[in-house]
A and B are shown apart, each in its own frame.
Chain A
Amino acid sequence: MASINRHDDSRDQNGFGLSKDKPVLEVIGLTTQFRTQDGIVHAVNGVSFELREGEFLGVVGESGSGKSVSMMSLLKLIPMPPGEIVAGEVKFGGQDLLRISPSELRHVRGGEIGFIFQDPMTSLNPVIRIGKQITESLDLHTDLSKKESEARALELMELVGLPDAAQRLKSYPHELSGGMRQRIMIAMALACSPGMLIADEPTTALDVTIQAQIIELVKDLRQKLGTALIWITHDLGVVAGLADRVLVMYGGQIVEESPVKELYANPQHPYTQGLLESLPRADQKGEELNSIEGQPPSMYSAPTSCSFAPRCPFVFDRCREELPVLRLVAPDRKTACFYDMNNGEPFRD
């Protein structure tokens, strides 16, 4: 267990809660495009954010908002070509991950940054036993002996709450249920005691009672390990119960950044507000839902003005002419909007 607890220890040495504010990861101006037959898809347009020590960062957005592509770009996990990271810096552990050598990057992937994907069935190799798949990353990233890595695999299986661990290590992925496979994915991501994790819609393919099991597991692991985590999802409910802070993405940009409670209580971007209001609520049964009219933006041109403007109820001239950038509107809260939601008028600047 000693290795699993590594980050708890380092947090203690840094000491006294200050470590919460030290970023584990800093992303500046990340821009990713895909060259397709129909033209260039501007999937991620200048995304900047930080992940703080021990933090649970939720990233929400609808399909095509760029949430997955931006997080996959951090480790160059997008198909290149057609994808291309045209600009940006990703600072992690004193390095810029976009500029390190392929062998260094391989060491970071799975070693220092763990990944959990949406569909464990497509990420696990169907013809290799579970145990072998877990020890594989240990063989790659650590110098544990065969015996030690087997013991570590067992320890991980128990950590993620899989009963009959020894038996399970001999199973093939198809012999396990969806929930168990997702637990295996989590075990694999944690295998090398990474400094941070990226989870891409890890519960979306699961049924709601199984999702609840995985959410409980993740909460439990966070308490034990304290690993910083980016959790990508389209489900505003899942994020509400888990995240410390949330990034809301729309049209390949971050439109709002906020601590979780403030975000839900008082959204600062019209898109966030629209999204929260379009959810059905128990006390408004039978009434018409507040939908956001219109469609998400086309990604075939780089945004030159606010990409939410065509659907925005607060739109005014400036929104159609100028591209809003994130501005600080309250402590630790940013919005990419020209309209001051709190005062009900455009910002004066």
Chain B
Amino acid sequence: MTDTATELESLDTDREVLLSVKGLKKHFPIMKGVFRKQVGAVRAVDGVDFVIYKGETLGLVGESGSGKSTTGRVILQLDNATEGSVTFDGIELTQISSKDMRKLRRRMQMIFQDPHACLNPRMTVASIIGEPLVENSDMSKAERRSRIEELLQSVGLDPTHANRYPHEFSGGQRQRIGIARAIALHPEFIVCDEPIAALDVSIQAQVVNLLKKLQKELDLTYFFISHDLSMVRHIADRVAVMYLGHIVELAPVDVVYDDPKHPYTQALNSAVPVPDPLIEETRQRVILEGDVPSPANPPPGCVFSTRCPIATERCSSEVPEWRSLGNEHWVACHFAE
């Protein structure tokens, strides 16, 4: 963990910080036996620090179980943090009452992975999108109706379909409904948790284009969680790479892809297949050995040390410091320079 002084030094002072995360941890207890005694903890998120600037898209990539989704959920207080702080526009979210949090929710929204699971099948599209308006505004029925139509229009759906049910729409269209619901209350910040993972390739592009369009029109800030490195490269301004509950590297998008310093980022980049047979033919891959260790029992020292191609003895005993390499490039590796 860095002290605030050095952190501020390497922040871009021209830009306004919307959200700041410090030392954030989320441990899920493991219970055992008749008396449900706690015997350990899954360290889903184990101390992460980062900021999100107003108007940017911060991408968060990592493999399954790395803690990306948990990070997103804890930021929005959908899960309580075990330790650490989350500050949104100067407000410490981990401390405020649930009543105050409710008021803040309209400013921070989430788009989920599976548009089928997150839409109530028994509600019409109009009532799904209208629900946040009923809860959080004093609109009249007619005002709501026109706002719903406006929202449907802005996500590229036919407003005359407002009375249909979710099952009458395709996966891509359902994701548009989820997006319309998320932007209904004019939020400033949206956590997009794998918003395109369940969609087909040709539909993914449509949804990503829509997200970018809305960001421009509504001045949105995105925290874009995904395991799809090539799509994150397309949409993000800066990218954080997560492994086993830790952020191992954070930098502007081109640096993460073209000049990564952490061995895990390098391996992750090289593992992604390129849709071009000529490149694939000559490509040299860094193939990581073995599997990701269990977050209930992470290795001592650097969490990546068990699979790292350049690990030394130091790595299995000493936790690497989260340090700045300058130019907004952060890394947690003893050997990165």
A293 to B170, CA, bound (A): 13
Stretch at the interface among A110-118, A184-192, A234-242, A320-328: A234-242
- A282 lies within 8 A of chain B by Cβ: yes
> Is B280 a contact of A179 with CB atoms below 8 Å?
no
> Is B200 a contact of A63 with CB atoms below 8 Å?
yes
Chain A residues contacting B230 (CB-CB under 8 Å) are: 237, 279-280, 282
> Is B272 a contact of A208 with CB atoms below 8 Å?
yes
Chain B residues contacting A213 (CB-CB under 8 Å) are: 287-288
A273-305: CB near B (< 8 Å → 1, else 0) gives 011101110100110111111011000000000
User: Which residue of chain A lies nearest to B281 when distances are taken between CB atoms in the complex?
Assistant: A241
> Is A211 a contact of B231 with CB atoms below 8 Å?
no
> Is A212 a contact of B200 with CB atoms below 8 Å?
no
> Is B272 a contact of A207 with CB atoms below 8 Å?
no
Chain A residues contacting B254 (CB-CB under 8 Å) are: 285
- B202 lies within 8 A of chain A by Cβ: yes
> Is B287 a contact of A216 with CB atoms below 8 Å?
yes
The minimal Cβ–Cβ distance linking A250 to chain B, given in whole angstroms, is 10
The minimal Cβ–Cβ distance linking B235 to chain A, given in whole angstroms, is 8
In the complex, which of the residues A178, A212, A286 contacts B287, with contact meaning CB atoms closer than 8 Å?
A212
In the complex, which of the residues B204, B275, B288, B292 contacts A237, with contact meaning CB atoms closer than 8 Å?
B275
- B201 lies within 8 A of chain A by Cβ: yes
User: Which residue of chain A lies nearest to B213 when distances are taken between CB atoms in the complex?
Assistant: A288
A276 to B288, CA, bound (A): 28
Q: Known: A207-B227, A240-B275. Is A278-B201 also a contact (CB below 8 A)?
A: yes
A295 to B201, CA, bound (A): 12
The minimal Cβ–Cβ distance linking A259 to chain B, given in whole angstroms, is 9
> Is A207 a contact of B257 with CB atoms below 8 Å?
no
- B212 lies within 8 A of chain A by Cβ: yes
Chain A residues contacting B203 (CB-CB under 8 Å) are: 62, 291, 295
The minimal Cβ–Cβ distance linking B167 to chain A, given in whole angstroms, is 12
Give the dominant DSSP class at A's interface.
helix
User: Which residue of chain A lies nearest to B267 when distances are taken between CB atoms in the complex?
Assistant: A209
The minimal Cβ–Cβ distance linking A189 to chain B, given in whole angstroms, is 21
User: Which residue of chain A lies nearest to B64 when distances are taken between CB atoms in the complex?
Assistant: A207
- B164 lies within 8 A of chain A by Cβ: no
Interface centre among B201, B206, B227, B253 (most CB of A within 10 A): B201
User: Which residue of chain B lies nearest to A261 when distances are taken between CB atoms in the complex?
Assistant: B277
Q: Known: A62-B200, A292-B205. Is A209-B288 also a contact (CB below 8 A)?
A: yes
> Is A293 a contact of B206 with CB atoms below 8 Å?
yes
- B186 lies within 8 A of chain A by Cβ: no
> Is B291 a contact of A210 with CB atoms below 8 Å?
yes
B128-170: CB near A (< 8 Å → 1, else 0) gives 0000000000000000000000000000000000000000001
Interface residues of B in 249-298 (CB under 8 A from A): 253-254, 257, 267-268, 270-281, 283, 285, 287-288, 291-292
Chain B residues contacting A210 (CB-CB under 8 Å) are: 63, 291
Interface residues of B in 166-210 (CB under 8 A from A): 170, 172-173, 200-206, 208-209
- B234 lies within 8 A of chain A by Cβ: yes
> Is A285 a contact of B234 with CB atoms below 8 Å?
yes
Q: Known: A278-B205, A280-B234, A295-B172. Is A212-B277 also a contact (CB below 8 A)?
A: no
A216 to B271, CA, bound (A): 10
- B229 lies within 8 A of chain A by Cβ: yes
Chain A residues contacting B288 (CB-CB under 8 Å) are: 209, 212-213
> Is A291 a contact of B206 with CB atoms below 8 Å?
yes
> Is B234 a contact of A291 with CB atoms below 8 Å?
no
Interface residues of B in 284-333 (CB under 8 A from A): 285, 287-288, 291-292
Interface centre among B63, B172, B254, B280 (most CB of A within 10 A): B280
Q: Known: A213-B288, A285-B234, A288-B212. Is A275-B202 also a contact (CB below 8 A)?
A: yes
Chain A residues contacting B283 (CB-CB under 8 Å) are: 241
> Is B280 a contact of A282 with CB atoms below 8 Å?
no
- B233 lies within 8 A of chain A by Cβ: yes
The minimal Cβ–Cβ distance linking A240 to chain B, given in whole angstroms, is 5
A278 to B199, CA, bound (A): 13
Chain A residues contacting B212 (CB-CB under 8 Å) are: 288
> Is A241 a contact of B201 with CB atoms below 8 Å?
no
Q: Known: A209-B271, A289-B205. Is A216-B276 also a contact (CB below 8 A)?
A: no
> Is A278 a contact of B202 with CB atoms below 8 Å?
yes
A289 to B202, CA, bound (A): 10
> Is A234 a contact of B274 with CB atoms below 8 Å?
no
Chain B residues contacting A282 (CB-CB under 8 Å) are: 230, 233, 257
Chain A residues contacting B208 (CB-CB under 8 Å) are: 280, 289
Q: Known: A207-B64, A289-B205. Is A235-B273 also a contact (CB below 8 A)?
A: yes
Chain A residues contacting B206 (CB-CB under 8 Å) are: 291-293
- A75 lies within 8 A of chain B by Cβ: no
Chain B residues contacting A238 (CB-CB under 8 Å) are: 273
Chain A residues contacting B204 (CB-CB under 8 Å) are: 278
User: Which residue of chain B lies nearest to A203 when distances are taken between CB atoms in the complex?
Assistant: B273
Q: Known: A264-B275, A280-B233, A293-B206. Is A208-B201 also a contact (CB below 8 A)?
A: no
Chain B residues contacting A288 (CB-CB under 8 Å) are: 209, 212
A65 to B254, CA, bound (A): 35
User: Which residue of chain A lies nearest to B279 when distances are taken between CB atoms in the complex?
Assistant: A240
User: Which residue of chain A lies nearest to B200 when distances are taken between CB atoms in the complex?
Assistant: A62
- A215 lies within 8 A of chain B by Cβ: yes
> Is B63 a contact of A207 with CB atoms below 8 Å?
yes
Q: Known: A208-B229, A291-B206. Is A241-B274 also a contact (CB below 8 A)?
A: yes
Q: Can you identify 7 A-B contacts, CB atoms within 8 angstroms?
A: A209-B63, A240-B273, A241-B283, A264-B276, A276-B275, A282-B257, A292-B205
* A→B interface (CB under 8 Å): 62-63, 177-180, 207-213, 215-216, 234-238, 240-241, 260-261, 264-265, 274-276, 278-280, 282, 285-286, 288-293, 295-296
Excluding A62-B200, A209-B63, A289-B209, 11 further A-B contacts by CB distance (< 8 Å) are: A207-B64, A208-B272, A237-B230, A237-B272, A241-B277, A278-B202, A280-B231, A285-B233, A288-B209, A291-B202, A296-B170
* B→A interface (CB under 8 Å): 63-64, 170, 172-173, 200-206, 208-209, 212, 227, 229-231, 233-234, 253-254, 257, 267-268, 270-281, 283, 285, 287-288, 291-292
